Structure 1
Amino acid sequence: MITASAFQPVDTVQPATGDIHLYMCEFAHSSAMQCRQAMRSRLYAVLSGWCGRTVSADDLHRSEHGKPTLRNGGPLHFSLSHSGSLGLIAVAWDTELGVDVEQPGKPRAVAALARRYFTATEADWLARCDESVRQDAFLTLWTAKEAVAKAIGRGLAYGLDRIGFVAQSGDGRWRLDAVQGEAGPAARWQCHPLQPGRACHGAVAWRGTPRPIQAFRFFR
């Protein structure tokens, strides 16, 4: 688990050869639109640092499934996610990756959501787990599944029920157990849980061998 204390303060971006870099962004803006705009500005700054040139909105495009990519970026890959006032950017060379973050809000109907999107085994486990941890366990699993789906490049369209996890304990920790279809098998994948802030849930995932993860947070 990579927690908030692992995110080291940084004001400049230094690319790394084989590491996964995570950048946490915290915003004080009042509206969702302002947070999205600030997140985009941070993304351009990160990509500019890695590319060694200025990156702007014109350098980005979306795949047929909506995943943002960098024009003429070569082997550079990235993923971003934000929830409320917190955002995460993941960057790496030579591997597709995905990152997702969720901040808890009002309680969700997690049992119904799990029956709709998750595997039967996962939904059954969530239904049985203690009510005091069920919301957090759901968000931990949701972000892990979405991180893998984003790394595949299709997001929810791939089918979260095709990405299976098994519960490791009663406190909501999960292990990737199955990736069905062309993106599998699960043994080829790395998926790491994140807790970038108090009560926040997240995950970063990529297909390939284990890599070091370096975590940073921007000065406000």
Structure 2
Amino acid sequence: MRDVLRAQFVDVWHAELRGLDSKALTFWDALLSDQERQRSQEYKRPERRQGFVAVRGLLRCTLAGYLDVEPRELVFESGEYGKPALAGARLHFNISHSGDHLLIAVSDLGELGVDVESLRVGRNLHALAGRCFSVREYREWAALPTEQQLPTFYRLWVKKEAFVKAVGRGIAAGLDLCEFALEAGGQLVAIPGEFGGIDAWSVVELPVANAAAALVAPNKSGMFCFRELGLGV
């Protein structure tokens, strides 16, 4: 596998997985590894199976474009805590999907994390916030007017998820230990010492309709782009 040229970039690709046609699904399915294809068959509901094929196929096409290789040539591996990575390449990526939304983050700057969550009403947000927010975060969030609690909860939630994905630890890192300022554009306030200082990380809120989305990436000089990913083949 030929490595990507160093360009100091962070790209986030957004796709809406709505109205997937059979031609595209057949094309993406042909790109999958035997293991991925077997996993797709484990989904009993057709829409879930098609979503998996679309996500894996789009991921392969996107990453292959940076490395100038065929999508089916890519080999994935998992880190100690299960974070996926490309074998034999210094290209970092992370993905997230919720509802019809898919995000693929790609960079040559270092490990990064991305998360998207469709806004859902009717959940017991106070119970979730009590478990996953720090004492300070929960106190400030609970004091907000009711109409601000839903969007603020998700804005904070996706940042926490993106951060623990960036450091490769998932929720084992302790969502309540990764603190953010609650306001729009709020950055890290505190993290466990093993993950370095808060100034080592940059947090970007992403413009996804009817959802909350965030990127956490190394705080290094580089070009950031948010792009729409076409579904045509």
TM-score interval for Structure 1 and Structure 2 normalised by the shorter chain: 0.7 to 0.9
RMSD across aligned C-alpha pairs, in angstroms?
Answer: 2.0
Aligned pairs (5 A) from 1:203-218:
203-218=214-229
Cα distance in structure 2, aligned partners of 1:16 and 1:61: 22
Cα distance in structure 2, aligned partners of 1:44 and 1:136: 32
Cα distance in structure 1, aligned partners of 2:152 and 2:211: 11
Which one-letter code corresponds to 2:164 in the other structure? Answer: A
Matched, 1:31 2:21: no
Larger gyration radius, structure 1 or structure 2: 2
**When the two structures are aligned, how many residues end up with a matched partner?**
202
1:35-74 CA-partner distances (Å, limit 9, x unpaired): 222011110001101111123386012112111100111x
Matched, 1:101 2:116: yes
Q: Write 1 or 2 for the structure with the bigger share of strand.
A: 1
SS at match of 1:34: helix
Aligned pairs (5 A) from 1:140-179:
140-168=155-183, 173-179=185-191
Where do 5+ consecutive residues of structure 1 fail to align?
A: 1-13
Which residue is 1:47 aligned to?
A: 63
Matched, 1:185 2:197: yes
> Shift of residue 157 of structure 1?
1.2
Seen in structure 2, the aligned counterparts of structure 1 residues 57 and 124 have a Cα distance that, compared at 3 Å, is farther
Q: Which has the higher contact order (CA 8 A, sep 6+)?
A: 1
Matched, 1:89 2:104: yes
TM-score computed with the length of structure 2 as normaliser: 0.80
Are the aligned partners of 2:121 and 2:150 in contact in 1 as well (CA < 8 Å)? Answer: no
Query: Taking every aligned residue pair, what percent have the same amino acid on both sides?
Result: 31
Choose from 4, 7, 16 the match for 1:17: 7
Which residue is 1:202 aligned to?
A: 213
Aligned pairs (5 A) from 1:122-141:
122-141=137-156
Which residue is 2:76 aligned to?
A: 60
> Shift of residue 77 of structure 1?
0.2
Where do 5+ consecutive residues of structure 2 fail to align?
A: 21-45
